[in-house]
Amino acid sequence: MKWWQETIAYEIYIRSFKDSDGDGVGDINGITSELDHLEDLGVGAIWLTPCYDSPHADNGYDVADYYKIDPTYGTMEDMDNLIKEADKRNIRIVMDLVFNHTSDQNEWFQESKSGKDNEKSDWYIWRDPAGDGGPPTNWRSIFGGSAWEYDETRGQYYLHTFLKEQPDLNWENPEVRKALIDVANFWVDKGVGGFRLDAITYIKKPEEFQDGEPDAGDGMVGIHTVTANTDGILDFLHEFKSEVQEGTDIFTVGEANGVSAANLSEWVGQDGVFDMVFEFNHVYIDIADDSNWCKTREWTLPQLKALFSASQEITLETEGWYPMFLENHDQPRSINRFLPEGADRQDGAKALATLLLTMRGTPFIMQGEEIGYVNVEWDSIDDYDDISTKNHYEFAIKEGYSEEEAMEGVHRFARDSSRTPVQWDASENAGFTTGTPWLPIYDDYKDVNVAVEREDEDSILNWYIKLTEIRSEHHEFIDGDYKELFPDDEQIFAYTRESDSGKSVVLINLSTEQAEYDTSCITGKELLIGTNGTTEEGKLEPLEAVIFSEK
């Protein structure tokens, strides 16, 4: 097995992890100072959100210079030091490659927009205005508003899948692809352990640019519908794989919005382009239309289980690998999303942790998840920082929803919820910074923090640590098959993990009622670990999780 299949990954949202210099913003030296925490958690790979030079229109996902560290986060020496210190603990750094677009402040774009006759004029996607002088098509950007922005100098529009400050690169141009490959190889040479490829399903655009069927009152169509996962995209990515990854031990994980379980096999596995892809089918279970946070939907546990199982089975069949995640910096907290209302935070977090750490694949823990963070619910939209959250709110108001309804959507889906600073201890500002935190610290920090959880044997954090130990002692959790049990059960998520290394059964009650199950699945097995200490066979208390293993 490869090193990254046996390890646990952890996502660090650098702005919010740990501030070492008192400016209220997390930084690279802050990460280096907390590596022990990650080592305790069994982490072997840190997915680091972008720390490159950036004007921060989208908190670093707008890169001005891929070869420079943003001064708010430190220097290249700090980065080299982090890579070295992490390495001593067997932890590799995974860089976030934002390659669908750059910042509008990137020199490449500055040159491209300087006129039609420069060397980079074709590095971005420029089109003439439509007949009426308006945008070339009716595509809506993912963060709201037209996906086209007019530029006076060129007298043309440029395309931006996200913010207007994030112009899309033109991957059809081989020079662009070469420039991006060079960036990636620069980081490979620095000794990083892998890459997360941001928004990668949008890099290929359709040959013809045409209006789409409007999907809202603004007369526009979400760009996702028109450009995600366009035919021909895999050619670009095969090239990337052979030019960057071949001959190294790094891994790649693509952010693959728009890829379903059915076409996963083209993306991962023997003939795929990445080692893993993040697909979003399970996180979108509660939202009918991601461009409209007010359009939520009801869902059932069997539906959720079916989504996970489909991905597990297809990656097994294709010998692919799965990045298991319940949260990331774009998603709300999993306790609010996947558990019934009124679920106990501590029990619920442990139940979800059991799912996260025992499925087949590499688990990705989002910072804060290991101490049971919940969503923030601030009173006014002005309290929120994230630009996409603000845009979603405005969109809802324009679509005719009331302020109250729009705020409900914000409370449910705001990206800020996963971005509040890490609560290290009960001291002022939760030990995150000696300055003023860039985003408010959640007000439960005196009780919910890493230091408190470390001391409490029954804490969520210690449950994570126990599970990570079980993963290394019971290799079936790494190399075993996955088979779902009781798919129609409305309360219990249950499955077996089996290989020559051993046989285990995981049973998780994701409901707030007691549940019963048929004990034949645990015949010949004994209780390895359980969230409630003692368990009556055949019964699970609300949110209880147990693992049985062959003796």
70 in catalytic set: no
CB of 255 to ligand GLC, least distance (A): 6
Nearer to ligand GLC, 255 or 489 (CB): 255
**Comparing C-alpha atoms, which of 457, 450, 461, 452 is closest to residue 533?**
457
Q: Answer yes or no whether residue 330 interacts with ligand GLC by CB under 6 A.
A: yes
Q: Answer yes or no whether residue 278 interacts with ligand GLC by CB under 6 A.
A: no
Tell me the two tokens of residue 141.
Answer: 């950007």
The sign one gets for the Cα dihedral 176, 52, 59, 255 is positive
Nearer to ligand GLC, 93 or 98 (CB): 98
CB contact burial 94-110 (16+ within 10 A = b; e otherwise): bbbbbbbbbbbbbebbe
Nearer to ligand GLC, 305 or 329 (CB): 329
Which position has the token pair 């089918």?
281
Those residues whose C-beta lies under 8 Å from the C-beta of residue 381, and which sit 6 or more positions away, are 389, 390, 393, 406, 407, 410
Q: Answer yes or no whether residue 157 interacts with ligand GLC by CB under 6 A.
A: no
Region for residue 90 given its phi and psi (left: phi exceeds 0; alpha: psi -120 to 50; beta: otherwise): left
What's the CA gap between 355 and 373, in Å, rounded? 17
148-151: strand order across its sheet: 126-127, 156-159, 148-151
Q: Answer yes or no whether residue 98 interacts with ligand GLC by CB under 6 A.
A: yes
Q: Which of 73, 126, 148, 162 binds ligand GLC (CB under 6 A)?
A: 162
Could you say which residues in the range 49-68 bind ligand GLC, by CB under 6 A? 58, 61
255 in catalytic set: yes
Could you say which residues in the range 182-201 bind ligand GLC, by CB under 6 A? 198-199
Nearer to ligand GLC, 61 or 236 (CB): 61
CB contact burial 15-39 (16+ within 10 A = b; e otherwise): bbbbbbeeebbbbbbbbbebbebbe
CB of 62 to ligand GLC, least distance (A): 7
CB of 450 to ligand GLC, least distance (A): 24
Could you say which residues in the range 15-44 bind ligand GLC, by CB under 6 A? none
Nearer to ligand GLC, 360 or 415 (CB): 415
CB of 69 to ligand GLC, least distance (A): 18
CB of 123 to ligand GLC, least distance (A): 18
CB of 387 to ligand GLC, least distance (A): 8
Strands 65-69 and 221-222: unpaired
Region for residue 269 given its phi and psi (left: phi exceeds 0; alpha: psi -120 to 50; beta: otherwise): left
User: What phi, psi does 125 have (nearest 5°)?
Assistant: -105, 100
User: What phi, psi does 520 have (nearest 5°)?
Assistant: -60, -25
Nearer to ligand GLC, 419 or 474 (CB): 419
Question: Amino acid letter at 299?
Answer: W
What's the CA gap between 345 and 336, in Å, rounded? 9
Catalytic residue, chosen from 168, 255, 327, 370, is 255
Degrees to nearest 5, angle at CA 361 with 304 and 11 = 90
Nearer to ligand GLC, 329 or 360 (CB): 329
Could you say which residues in the range 245-264 bind ligand GLC, by CB under 6 A? 255
Q: Answer yes or no whether residue 544 interacts with ligand GLC by CB under 6 A.
A: no
Number of residues that bind ligand GLC (CB under 6 A): 9
Q: Three-class SS of residue 180?
A: helix
CB of 364 to ligand GLC, least distance (A): 12
> How far from the centroid of its chain's Cα atoms is residue 506's Cα?
25
Nearer to ligand GLC, 162 or 482 (CB): 162
How buried is 221 (Cβ within 10 angstroms: 0-12 exposed, 13-18 middle, 19+ buried)?
A: buried
Minimal CB distance residue for ligand GLC:
61
Tell me the two tokens of residue 478.
Answer: 């790494």
CB of 325 to ligand GLC, least distance (A): 12
Those residues whose C-beta lies under 8 Å from the C-beta of residue 379, and which sit 6 or more positions away, are none
The catalytic site residues sit at 198, 255
Positions that interact with ligand GLC (CB under 6 A): 58, 61, 98, 162, 198-199, 255, 329-330
